Structure 1
Amino acid sequence: MHWILLRGLTREQGHWGDFPAQLRSAFPEHRFHTVDLPGTGTLFREDSPDTIPEIRRRVCEQVNHIPRPFSLLALSMGGMVALDWAQHAEPGELQHLVLVNTSSGFSPFWKRMRPLAWPRVTQLLARRELFHRERDILRLTSNREIPLSLCKAWYSIQRQRPVNYRTAFNQLRAAARFQPLPQRPMADALLLASKGDRIVHWHCSAELERRWCWTLRLHPDAGHDLPLDEPGWIIQQMEHWLPGQ
């Protein structure tokens, strides 16, 4: 089985850290592909589109060489792209869907991004001093102690593959306007959310569970970057949910 991994706002495949390696170790019969959203990572010289459907179309162009069917594991805004993908997929194109701390237009805007997070996010994205910006992004998205080595790693990513302000603005605009179709795209999906998320309220995942009867699992205290804070917990939930595991 081939999995596509998608990150969130202004983040790229390098920000997964060793999470893909942990997935490969836990599921050796599966293949995991980290794919960048336009304007980030290997595509940092591009500008991001300002709608989720157009971002999704650009992501799909990158994976034409990967055999179908895909499964998707996506975090935050990447989850919006994955949900839009599931709703527009060809028959037999997608097999499994795992959404982590994501949101959609089904929830009110003050839950999609908590009021206290708005000024911090916009200030961080506009900040020019890269090391302190990346350190403070980690402090906002993680609820765990942040080692200096991780701050340096994220700083190095931004130095090598900087995300420009137009991409950051377009991604914010796309996320704010995203409205899924009303039809349930799959019989089941795995929704993983953190009660300790200080950016997106876990009720956004609960709303998808309520609306479509999908499977919801909640972590009690991890931050928004659940793959960073509790990668083993995510893998455990996937092992329980995936058939044949």
Structure 2
Amino acid sequence: MDWILLRGLTREQAHWGDFPHQLGAAFPEHRFHTVDLPGTGVHFREPSPDAIQGIRRQVCRSVSHMPRPFSILALSMGGMVALDWAQHADPGEIQHLVLVNTSSGFSPPWHRMRPASWPKILRLLARRELFERERDILRLTSNRPVPLELAKRWYSIQRQRPVSRGNAYRQLKAAARYTPAGSRPLPDALLLASQGDRIVNWRCSADIESRWQWTLKLHPDAGHDLPLDDPGWILKQLESWLPDA
């Protein structure tokens, strides 16, 4: 089974760190592919659409060569793209869907982005000192101590493939406006949420679970970047949930 991994707002495939390799080691019969959203990573020179539907269409084109069916594991805004994708996919195209700390228009705005995080995120997007900005993003999205080497790595990513301020704001606009269609795209999906998330309230995942009776698992203290804070916990949830694991 092929998996597509999607990151969130202004983040790219390199921000997964070692997580794809950990997935491959835990599930050797599966293949995991990191895919960048428009405006980030290998597509950093391209303009990002300002709607999730437009972002999803461009991501679909970038993986049109991949065999179907496949599965998707997506974080934050990437989860919105994955959910929109599942609702527009051909029957049987997407086999498994795993959404990590995502949100949608099913939840109130103050849950989709905690009020205290709004000014912090806007200041971060406008900040020009790259190293300090990337370190502060880590401090906001992770609930673990931030090693200097990790901050340097994220700084290097931004130096090599910078996300423009315009693309950052267009992605933020797309995420803020996204509301899924009302129909459930799959009989089940795995929703993973961090109760310690300081950006998105875990109740956003609970709202999706309540609406569609999907499987919800809560981490007690990880931050928004759950794959960074506790990748082993995600692997355990996948092992329990996947029928062929």
Q: What is the TM-score normalised by the length of structure 2?
A: 1.00
1:91 maps to what in 2? 91
1:202 maps to what in 2? 202
Q: Give the aligned residue type for 1:39.
A: G
**C-alpha deviations, 1:20-68, integer Å up to 9, x for none?**
0000000000000000000000000011000000000000011111110
Structure 1's consecutive aligned runs of 4 or more residues displaced over 3 angstroms after TM superposition are: none
Distance in 2 between the 1:46 and 1:219 partners? 35
Shift of 1:92: 1.4
1:5 maps to what in 2? 5
**C-alpha deviations, 1:79-111, integer Å up to 9, x for none?**
000000000001111000000000000000000
Aligned-CA RMSD value: 0.4
1:232 maps to what in 2? 232
Q: What pairs with 1:1-245 in structure 2 (closer than 5 Å)?
A: 1-245=1-245
Distance in 1 between the 2:93 and 2:83 partners? 13
Q: What is the TM-score normalised by the length of structure 1?
A: 1.00
Distance in 2 between the 1:178 and 1:64 partners? 24
Distance in 1 between the 2:65 and 2:236 partners? 30
Shift of 1:134: 0.1
Q: Give the aligned residue type for 1:218.
A: L
* Structure 1 runs not aligned, ≥5 long: none
Shift of 1:190: 0.1
* 3-state secondary structure, aligned to 2:38: coil
* 3-state secondary structure, aligned to 2:137: helix
Count residues with an aligned counterpart: 245
Shift of 1:154: 0.1
Shift of 1:244: 2.1
* 3-state secondary structure, aligned to 1:115: coil
Distance in 2 between the 1:20 and 1:91 partners? 27
